[in-house]
Amino acid sequence: MRRSTLAVQVGVLARRSVVRTLRQPAMVVPSLVFPLILLAINASGLDSATRLPGFPTDSYFQFALAIPFVQGALFSANSAGTNVASDIESGFLNRLALTPLRRVALMMGQLAGILALGLIQAVTFVVIGVAFGSGIAAGVSGALVIIALSLVISLAFGCIGAFVALRTGSGEAVQGVFPLFFAALFLSSMALPRNLIETDWFRTVADWNPVSYMLEAIRSLVISGWDGEALALGFACAGGLALIALVAASSALRTQMVRT
Amino acid sequence: MSEAAIEATDLVRDFKKGPRAVDGIDLRVEAGEVYGFLGPNGAGKSTTVHMLTTLLPPTSGTARVGGHDVVEEGPAVRATIGAALQEAALDPFLTGTEHMKLQTALHGMRRAEAKSRSGELLARVGLTQAADRKVGGYSGGMKRRLDLALALVHEPRILFLDEPTTGLDPQSRSALWDEVQRLASDSGVTVFLTTQYLEEADVLADRIGIIDQGRIVAEGTPAELKAEISRPTLEIIPAEHGELARTREVLARFGEPANSSPKGAAVLLSEGEAQLADVVRALDADGIHLQHLQLHAPTLDDVFLAKTGRSLEGAAEEEAEQPDPEQAAAA
């Protein structure tokens, strides 16, 4: 019998990951609906913030449009972590370990599911933003860059979710970590530009929080057009986090998927 | 001597937290044999299977499966074996056909060959009609049968089945037994089967190893093991429940007490069935009237009792209170 190639392994596992994700409406729908609910609440409740001197736009909806892209990515962490944990708990990972599967193929296949969910989210949020009059200052190509950055952010948080699942082997642990991701979102420049945050400790945390730079990169494309520095920082934070999380998840997979 | 399908020498597995799960196991399973590995929960059966299937490195000792060392030649071992481990490891969101596609692709089968093999295996386990339904809607028996079909995709010479019928209804259990027997007799597959069911080991296995607290305490064919005990159990139910204590006293003169129904008393006859007439006479002399009398031939549970001092059922309850070695490993 032939040995399956890496491409075949990645292909079948990616297909499984995407199919599995799309067949769980309870995982896909909240990741679309909840960020939009938060967007609606923020846009209607915090509109007076636009009157602050130095606020970058007169539409809080346009300012807040960046939030769903990151919040949706946080759901990717939950989705990826839960799927991986369920594979460990059910013994499916052992079934895969008994085939000639390479670990890298398993990781890449899993990431395909994260990216599929991330793509659905990003396209939905762009369409809704435009439909409700936000406009994208950087135009169509800017919208494509927003989608690309959203995918990198989804990848980063998805890999963190996978890492937690692979380290603990438990779906409950993944659920337990989920609120921490939201704390990271709230302790960023989510609600106000960093220079307008008056509380010192909050501004310091937001300055050190990579989520701030992810939001600001998307926000720059929506509000002001092409801003090289904001984009570089956003991609660097998302890409760096994705790389660290991917290395950590791959290492945890080596421990979890033991075979001689 | 020809090479064994499975051979282990002084196999040990320790976990950081918890007891030594496998404590120096030696075993030899010949090609084409169905070997039953019988023991209560937590006895070390699954840990042994995990080591033999390369999913867990042994702490010490050696094992060869299909002629390959489980530590040094993991990929070669995996190419030789199929395994259906505890709890059918399936994805509830995929269909039976999608599981087969995934498994055949990972084993490097060409599309046409994979399609034909999948169809053949799904038909063999009676899942053709359900093949395009999501596995989440399958019954326990259907999941186990799909699990078995997946383990057979690459035509393994050696098959590991870890408690394949646990939790199944009698009909599903019987269907799975038929399939295992067919695999062994028609295809010459070597089967290493763990179970906590005496009847399952008795029906399926050519030879049985009884494992308790990580050690093999007895090994042989079911007939050999029962012959080792050679003492039948006599169970008596007195006509009046009030006579139960006196019945026990009388029976105690003829051997060690044995497990019985709540209404009766039982004894492992120390000198065999020849004592039956003496027992009846003694009961009659004491004025005890009988409602029911039954002589049981030795069972594997008797063998387990004789070798470990506990019944298999009692041991299972006792072990259930101990930490699970696999969980301890994960901890």
Over residues A37-50, the pLDDT tens digits come to 999 998 888 888 88
Domain co-membership, B195 together with B250: no
The total of other beta-carbon atoms located within 10 Å of residue B292's CB is 12
Domain co-membership, B243 together with B178: no
Domain co-membership, B250 together with B161: no
Domain co-membership, B258 together with B127: no
Structural domain harbouring B155: 6-223
| pLDDT for the residue numbered B200 | 86
If you average pLDDT over every residue of chain B, what do you get?
86
Summarize the confidence of residues B232-256 as an average pLDDT. Answer: 89
The total of other beta-carbon atoms located within 10 Å of residue B2's CB is 6
Domain assignment of residue B161, yes or no: yes
**Between the CA of residue B234 and those of B231, B246, B295, what are the distances in Å?**
10, 16, 5
Here the CATH number for the domain that contains residue B272 is: 3.30.70.260
Domain co-membership, B130 together with B99: yes
Q: Which residues from chain B sit within 8 angstroms of residue A96, using beta carbons?
A: 106
Q: Which residues from chain A sit within 8 angstroms of residue B94, using beta carbons?
A: 16, 19-20
Decide: A239 and A152 in contact? Cβ < 8 Å: yes
Give me the number of domains chain A comprises: 1
- Between A and B, how many residue pairs show a Cβ–Cβ distance under 8 A? 89
Domain co-membership, B208 together with B235: no
Q: What's the pLDDT tens digit per position in A206-223? A: 999 999 999 999 999 999
Domain assignment of residue B11, yes or no: yes
Domain assignment of residue A1, yes or no: no
pLDDT above 50 (res B36): yes
Tell me if chain A has a CB within 8 Å of the CB of B152: no
Domain assignment of residue B114, yes or no: yes
Rg of chain B on CA atoms, in Å: 23
- Phi first, then psi, for residue A120 (nearest 5°) are -60, -45
Q: What's the pLDDT tens digit per position in A132-189? A: 888 899 999 999 999 999 999 999 999 999 999 999 988 888 888 888 888 999 999 9
pLDDT band at residue A129 under the 50/70/90 scheme: very high
Decide: A6 and A104 in contact? Cβ < 8 Å: yes
pLDDT band at residue B314 under the 50/70/90 scheme: low
State pTM to two decimals.
0.80
Domain co-membership, B159 together with B254: no
Give me the number of domains chain B comprises: 2
B233 pairs with which residues across the strands?
Answer: B268, B296
Q: Which residues from chain B sit within 8 angstroms of residue A172, using beta carbons?
A: none
Q: What's the pLDDT tens digit per position in A111-123? A: 888 888 899 999 9
Domain co-membership, B179 together with B244: no
Q: Which of residues 96-115 of A touch B (CB under 8 A)?
A: 96-101
Domain co-membership, B196 together with B93: yes
Q: Which residues from chain B sit within 8 angstroms of residue A87, using beta carbons?
A: 91
pLDDT band at residue B89 under the 50/70/90 scheme: confident
Domain assignment of residue A63, yes or no: yes
Domain co-membership, B74 together with B197: yes
pLDDT band at residue A66 under the 50/70/90 scheme: very high
The total of other beta-carbon atoms located within 10 Å of residue B181's CB is 14
Measuring CA to CA, which residue among B67, B21, B57, B53 is closest to residue A96? B53
Tell me if chain A has a CB within 8 Å of the CB of B70: yes
Domain assignment of residue B292, yes or no: yes
Give the ipTM of the model, two decimals please: 0.82
Summarize the confidence of residues A28-33 as an average pLDDT. Answer: 89
Structural domain harbouring A35: 6-256
**Interface with B, mutate which of A13, A103, A259 (most B CBs under 10 A):** A259
Chain A residue closest in CA terms to B58: A260
Domain co-membership, B62 together with B194: yes
* B167, B194, B223 - which closes a domain: B223
Residues 6+ apart with CB under 8 A from B317: none
Q: Which residues from chain A sit within 8 angstroms of residue B86, using beta carbons?
A: 91
Summarize the confidence of residues B69-94 as an average pLDDT. Answer: 90
Summarize the confidence of residues B106-128 as an average pLDDT. Answer: 92
